Amino acid sequence: MLFNSYEFLFLFLPATLAVFFVLSGQRWFKAAAAWLALASIFFYGYWSPRYVVLLLVSIALNFSAGRALLWCHAHERPGRARLVLVVALVANLLALAWFKYANFFVASVNGVAGTGWTLPEIVLPIGISFFTFTQIAFLVDTYKGKVRESKIVPYTLFVTFFPHLIAGPVLHHAEMMPQFDRQSTYRFRTHNFLIGTAFFALGLFKKVVLADGIQPYVGPVFEADPGYALSLLEAWGGVLAYTLQLYFDFSGYSDMAIGLSKMINVDLPLNFNSPYKAANIAEFWRRWHMTLSRFLRDYLYIPLGGNRRGEAQRYANLMITMLLGGLWHGAGWTFVIWGGLHGLYLIVHQAWQGLRKRFAILAPERPSLLGHGVAVLVTFLSVVVAWVFFRATSLDAALRVLQGMVGLNGLALPLEWRESFGALPAQFRVLEAWGGARQFAWIGVLLLFVWSVPNSQQIIELLKKHAAALRRDHWRWMSLGSLAVVVFLLAAINGSHGSSEFIYFNF
Amino acid sequence: MFMARLLSRLFWFACGVLAMLLLLEVALRVMPVSVPLPRSDQHSRWPLQYTPPHAPYSYSIGWKMQNAHRGVTNNYGHVAPFDFVRGSHPVIVMGDSFVESLMNDYPDSLQAQLAHKLGAPESVYGLGVSGMSASGYVGLGALARDEFAPSAAVILITDGDLSESLVPGAGSYFLVPDGAGLKLRYEPLRGESLTTKVRKAIGDIAVHRYFQVNLQFSLDKVFAGLRSEPASAPRAGDDTPRQQQVVDWFLDALPAQLGLAPGCVALLLDSDRYALYKPELASARKDTLQARAYLIAQARMRGFQVADLEPVFRAQYARDRIKFDHYPIDRHWNRVGHGVAAEQAKQLLVTPLAGGQRACLAQDAAAAR
């Protein structure tokens, strides 16, 4: 079920919230939590009931492994705990490997060795990467003694909680369970409901208006016929459109998840913090998909040794982390290359930081505005180039787009510009993958959004800080009424072009 | 106490809803929200008297209100920057929303480009009526004959014109069985009821128009989303014999109703242009290909002037790679598509007929008119 679909907005959400608050109002907290878990499982099963079994088996096995780890701790059996952890991790990774990577593996072997292996069609269960990673984090934290979970219902709710189940944020058990345990969660609080609705509306706006608005300019470039030579204008137009679409799509989804959760007094961690404002690639990763970055840092980079074993090992760890991060996003060489590029960027950044430490001239005390601007632009362009591999359906397609971006196909301008710009030394032809002046306008406006408009959490904070009136109950209800109209309008807009999936549902 | 609090909250919630709706109304009033052409109340002369004279309209498509056009209809309620003159022997162009052409500037339309090619700017009358089909063209043709005494006619046939001729509806021309054949029936609209008045009043609200026209919002769509089974797609046309019967009736009736010899009636047959751009974009047909081929063959046999635009579009697209419509947001023709049709229509009307007969229109004669 999509957050932006009619069935979610007009049926699932109202029903789930109504029953939850009625149960909570009766102080039946466990029943309310169980209801949320049930509703979340229904939410997942609505897409494909047969994968509910996979989800439930995964929950049962990981919960059992968690219990076994607790038993090992209680009986001081560290060796056995290690064995339990390894077995559980391997089981999780095998499930992920089968559903997500088996076809990729077979295709790669066939490609290299010329074999003719075939596999039955394997459908990727939606959200498998997210619920697998969430549970791996739980197991590792349990092994380390950071968390103790012995009740199945809260654990099921933690894994399946519908706002984050399909596409994150990737959660830590330790940050969620206290919230499900406290009684104040099970109370209708107008303030939180209003903040949640505002977050949700902002996210829906990002998805329905901004991401879906610019999306038509992406496909013609990335899905152009192999024989068609993309011009400089077309290639950059399509890649910039995708860069913006992806950000507004995924951050919109994350805002909606945060908002939905806030309606029931549960705070999810932030996932985006204006990533395209980053002045270097390390900062970008502290601002983009923050919960995945945190996961990769805590459960991969640091266990590999992090930066504790010298420069060379640090670079190797960075590269391994990013390559696996790339592979996590999708089973394909384009994702591996995307991860590899980011690994390379991070290595260059670390090397540059090392040089700055050694040579003071490279590290002015206060970087100039121009210097900061250049740094933001260079970081942005690096990220944009990497997105080409992230979006392209094949390596060839990615190279064709890059070929256009570097001008190897010439600076062809749209035929309709010939009258106005005929004096320019450019070729004029029909540009099949160019959306005209409107595309320029979309890209310009959206770049303005990402570079100069406060992000969702900043907007909400500003509202909380300055809108004193919102402390009064009647203003809150009035605001809720207004937001309900906005959500309805956005839902209708979304319905008019057909509910489009969120990009990260594919991962 | 609880009830009072609840009612108070509901009251403020409703105030918030109202405030936002008002804000939206103000914002949408200045935007090009679609204002469909209002239907004329001249029931007996509809659709010759298509909408009330000099009625303003606004056209835009989708939630982004793309391709916005505004205008005012002429004295007959049709889209043209000049008034039609009774008994002026024009060339009439009949068709559905393609000929109505709200999504284009008037000079880009088939009728304007044809007039330009014939060298007589106000000599071609566009009688486009959104949603009209073959039966409607015959009904409208009779009205146009009595009013304008046309010298020639161009009729644009699009997919669905045959099958939709059999669909009855109040306020439209449609075909009903008559023994072994078919006969034309016009079902007048009932007088203006209270419901109609209320709907008209609501129709003036920009928020309502935006939802209904631009967003195509309907509760049916919402409920369709809530149904577990997707609504079954409409069955592709598989009724060739019935459609061929419509073809026979149409070709029999048309010349008499128009008061023109078949040689002065040019039939243009549109094609699925999206299928030329990408085969996977082909739309499901309403009229079968067999019925379409039958129409072309029968019309030629009976002496009509016929242009199948499919090969013309195909050849031109292969050469220029320029699209003929507002791709990808709207399948209606753009200036280029209308230009192709206008050129074909001109060729049909000014080229001497087979057997040495004089052409229906002489280009210089048209210009002189």
Q: What integer pLDDT is reported at residue B192 of this predicted model?
A: 67
Report if residue B15 sits inside a domain.
no
User: What value of ipTM does the predicted structure carry?
Assistant: 0.84
Tell me the per-residue pLDDT of A104-124, one tens digit each, with 9 for 90 and over. Answer: 888 888 888 888 888 777 777
Q: What integer pLDDT is reported at residue A469 of this predicted model?
A: 64
Residue with tokens 């190897």: A408
Report if residue B81 sits inside a domain.
yes
Q: Would you call the peptide bond into B188 cis, given omega within 30 degrees of 0 as the criterion?
A: no
Tell me the per-residue pLDDT of B64-123, one tens digit each, with 9 for 90 and over. Answer: 999 999 999 999 999 999 999 999 999 999 999 999 999 999 999 999 999 999 998 889
Report if residue B323 sits inside a domain.
yes
Burial class (CB in 10 A: 0-12, 13-18, 19+), B280: exposed
Return the structure tokens found at B214.
Answer: 């631009």
- Check which CATH number belongs to the domain holding B71 and give it: 3.40.50.1110
DSSP state of A34: H
Report if residue B9 sits inside a domain.
no
Q: Is the pLDDT of residue A444 over 60?
A: yes
For the segment A133-153, the average pLDDT, to the nearest whole number, is 89
Residue A493 is nearest to which of B8, B63, B328, comparing CB atoms? Answer: B63
Tell me the per-residue pLDDT of B149-161, one tens digit each, with 9 for 90 and over. Answer: 999 999 999 999 9
Q: How far apart are CA A386 and CA A380, in angstroms?
A: 10
Residues 27-66 of B with CB under 8 A from A: 62-64, 66
Report if residue B18 sits inside a domain.
no
How many Å lie between the alpha carbon of B24 and the closest alpha carbon of chain A? Answer: 9
Report if residue B245 sits inside a domain.
yes
Which range marks the domain in which residue B129 is found?
A: 25-226+238-368
**Separation of first and last alpha carbons in chain A:** 16
Report if residue B210 sits inside a domain.
yes
Q: Is the pLDDT of residue B369 over 60?
A: no
Does any CB of chain A come closer than 8 Å to the CB of residue B256?
no
pTM here is 0.87
Q: How many domains does chain B have?
A: 1
Q: Are strands A427-429 and B265-269 parallel, antiparallel or unpaired?
A: unpaired
**Coil, strand, or helix at residue A67?**
helix
Residue B217 is nearest to which of A216, A484, A495, comparing CB atoms? Answer: A495
Residue B16 is nearest to which of A438, A480, A497, comparing CB atoms? Answer: A480
Catalytic residue, candidates A329, A372, A474, A497: A329
Report if residue B20 sits inside a domain.
no
Q: Is the pLDDT of residue A277 over 50?
A: yes
Among A126, A63, A121, A54, smallest CA distance to A94 is for: A54
For the segment A459-485, the average pLDDT, to the nearest whole number, is 84
Tell me the per-residue pLDDT of A339-370, one tens digit each, with 9 for 90 and over. Answer: 999 999 999 999 988 888 887 766 677 778 88
Tell me the per-residue pLDDT of A284-300, one tens digit each, with 9 for 90 and over. Answer: 999 999 999 999 999 89
The residue of B2, B6, B7, B20 whose CB has the most chain A CBs within 10 angstroms, and thus the best one to mutate to test that interface, is B20
Judge whether B152 and B260 are in contact, CB under 8 Å: yes
Q: Is the pLDDT of residue B243 over 90?
A: yes
Query: Percentage of chain A with pLDDT > 90?
Result: 59
Q: How far apart are CA A195 and CA B70, in angstroms?
A: 41
